[in-house]
Amino acid sequence: MEMRAFNNVAYLQAGIALQFMRRHNLTPLQFVELDKKYRLLHFLEIGYEPFHLMGDEAVLDELDEIVEEQRAAKE
C-alpha cells in the first residue's frame, strides 16, 4: 500500500474509532479489546473505498452490525 493510501486509511480508522468509543462510552483499552475480538480496524481497512464515501454515522452503524453479527454467531 502506498504511503498516501496508508495515511488515508489510518485517518479514517482513527476518526471512526474515536467516534465509536464516544457512541458506546468506551475507554481506549475497551476499544482495543473489542478490536482484538472483532477486527474492527481491519474491517475499516479492507472496506476503505466505500467507507470513505459514506457518512460517519453509516460507518458506525456498519461496525455495530459487525459486532452484533459476530456476537450472535458465537452464542
**For 24-52, what is each residue's pLDDT tens digit?**
999 999 999 999 999 999 999 999 999 88
Amino acid letter, residue 61: D
Q: Are 6 and 50 in contact (CB under 8 A)?
A: no
**For 48-67, what is each residue's pLDDT tens digit?**
999 889 999 999 999 999 99
How many domains does one find in the chain? 1
Contacts 24+ apart (CB under 8 A), 20-27: 20/60, 20/63, 23/60
Nearest to 61 by CA among 29, 35, 24: 24
Cα–Cα distance for residue pair 7/49, rounded to 1 Å: 13
What is the extent of the structural domain holding 23? 3-74
**What per-residue confidence (pLDDT) applies to 9?**
92
Place of cell 454515522: 57
pLDDT of residue 75 exceeding 90: no
